[in-house]
Amino acid sequence: SERARTKRRERARVNRATAPAALAREKMLWRRRRKKRGAAPPAATFDSIGEERVWEAGRQPYVGTGTGGLRELARRRLVTTLLGGLSPGPPGVVLLVDDASMRLLSSLFRLSEVMEYGVHLVENVTMKAADGSYLRRQPLRELPAVYLLTPSVESINRVIEDFREPAAPSYRGAYLFFTSRLSD
């Protein structure tokens, strides 16, 4: 019935951290159903990427990562590549983005979620004032900077500007990540 399918779907939507507990719960429920009517056991497998937990309820596979799909894969890729090596708390990092990267980041994360990965500040490097000049950002020399940028001349020039003076750079160091390949 539709109600039973909805319940199964909701049970399958488990975040990755609780997937083992959910699998144990599914097996326990299966044992109860098996005694009643001989139901098939739930199957938990990994897809070709090896990261998504796939649950099969009957013949329909469910992805057990919440919203699932492309958005969840993009979130996971950004976290592991960009923020995965960072530790929360001191010293933390400053995340610097351009307009396109800001749209990408805000479509995947809330600001509070980004902060959980040790990001203390998110700033747009290409933001301009009313007169057309770039806004000056406060230098934070004690924190490293993580740049997530589109490979454009404007964005690269903003990075160069941050480190123009070797004796007094704006940040302790820089980690550069681009949203697409750099052209030759």
Q: SS3 breakdown of the chain: % helix, strand, coil, rounded to 5?
A: 40, 20, 40
The yes-or-no verdict on residue 3 having pLDDT over 50 is: yes
Residue 52: predicted pLDDT: 35
Distance (Å, rounded) from C-alpha 126 to C-alpha 95? 13
- Mean pLDDT confidence for 166-180: 89
Q: What per-residue confidence (pLDDT) applies to 30?
A: 60
Q: Are 111 and 124 in contact (CB under 8 A)?
A: no
The model's pTM: 0.61
Domain ranges of the chain: 2-63, 69-178
CATH 2.60.120.650 fits 69-178, yes or no: no
The most confident of 19-28, 66-75, 164-173, by mean pLDDT:
164-173
pLDDT, greater one: 115 or 1? 115
Q: What is d(CA 160, CA 169) in angstroms, rounded to the nearest whole number?
A: 10
Q: How confident is the model at residue 48 (pLDDT cuts 50, 70, 90)?
A: very low
CB atoms inside a 10 Å sphere around CB 104: 17
Among 44, 19, 108, 109, residue whose Cα is nearest residue 70: 108
Average pLDDT estimate for 16-44: 58
Alpha-helix runs per DSSP H in the chain? 2-12, 19-37, 69-78, 99-108, 111-115, 153-162
Residues 6 or more apart whose CB falls under 8 angstroms from that of 135 comprise 127, 128, 129
Q: Is there a contact between 91 and 143 (Cβ–Cβ < 8 Å)?
A: yes
